[in-house]
Structure 1
Amino acid sequence: MEYMSWLWLGAVILFAVVEAMVTGLVAIWFVVGAVLAFVVSLFGVSATAQLTVFVLGSGIALIATRPLVKKWRTKDVIPTNVDRLIGMTGAVTEILTPVGTVYIDGKTWTARSMDHTDIDEGEQVRVCSIEGVTLNVQQVK
């Protein structure tokens, strides 16, 4: 085996180790390309041709598996009961400076003023979004 074959074999191992260490798919396509380039190098093809096979092989592997990877990475978002609070209105029970509490849907929630202004106790607010267990609210005018 010539030095380019060793180089491609090293690349296969390196990309495979990187892929094994990372939780997402980041190097599997390069493993495919490096394997193809390694096989081509065994036939004594020029380094330029080997590099071309590596790039094309990796690109084709990426294009061929992209729909599968996209489907795998895009998990179904399951809405929770808290999502229904978005758009609801409630009353401030502890002044928002800009964080305080609001009473919405029969429960007291930690809330943050979206525009970072103080909202007095008793004022009406509308839920715009939710971050963790904190409601992002705006004052209803």
Structure 2
Amino acid sequence: MDSIEVYVWLIVFIVLTAIEMATFQLVTIWFAVGAVAAFITSLFSTSLEIQLIVFLAVSMLLLILVRPIAGRFLQTKTVKTNVDSLIGDYATVTARIHNQEGFGKAVIRGQEWTAAAEKDDEIIEAGSRVVVTGIRGVKLIVAKIEPSRTAQENS
């Protein structure tokens, strides 16, 4: 038990566990378990090469075989935020949208947003109906609605 490797494997375990607790990515935890296996191996005064092989073998096996299974159990469904739920909704342009001149506004669900056209060369006049195709920062990215789409929306 006087071997320095015993202490090194304990330190590696502590550091890897701390990293996993800070990130929750299910990567370093498997290497932490590998460090425990190498620590146990070091207690039997085996060579450093054997300890490294045990560390890498256990870590890689857990990473490849167990991580996908654990990931499925820990995954939660992504919940749309209020902003994400705007994508696909219709808005009304309140101030002409012109990307080159850097202005444009639209109202959606009673709130006015700055807006930009999806296509940089597109100009959308005030009063037009648009569909929200994305959000960049605090700006709606919108596209003109084709006439057939407007007729479907009104019916």
- Provide TM-score, normalisation by structure 1: 0.75
1:96 aligns to what SS in structure 2?
Answer: strand
Q: List structure 1 segments (4+ residues) > 6 angstroms apart after TM superposition.
A: none
Residues in 2 aligned to 1:19 and 1:82: alpha-carbon distance in whole angstroms: 31
Residues in 2 aligned to 1:60 and 1:96: alpha-carbon distance in whole angstroms: 55
Change (3 A) 1:113 1:51: same
1:48 equivalent in structure 2: 49
Cα RMSD between the aligned structures? 2.8
| Identity over aligned pairs, percent | 34
- Provide TM-score, normalisation by structure 2: 0.69
2:14 equivalent in structure 1: 13
1:140 equivalent in alignment to 2:145: yes
Q: Where in structure 2 are the equivalents of 1:56-75 lying within 5 Å?
A: 56-62=57-63, 63-72=65-74, 74-75=75-76
Unaligned runs of 5+ in 2: 147-155
- Whether the aligned pair in 2 keeps the contact of 1:114 and 1:137 (CA below 8 Å) is yes
Structure 1 stretch displaced more, 131-140 or 4-13 = 131-140
Unaligned runs of 5+ in 1: none
Which residue among 92, 116, 127 is the counterpart of 2:120?
A: 116
Change (3 A) 1:94 1:15: same
2:53 aligns to what SS in structure 1?
Answer: helix
Q: CA deviation at 1:5?
A: 1.9
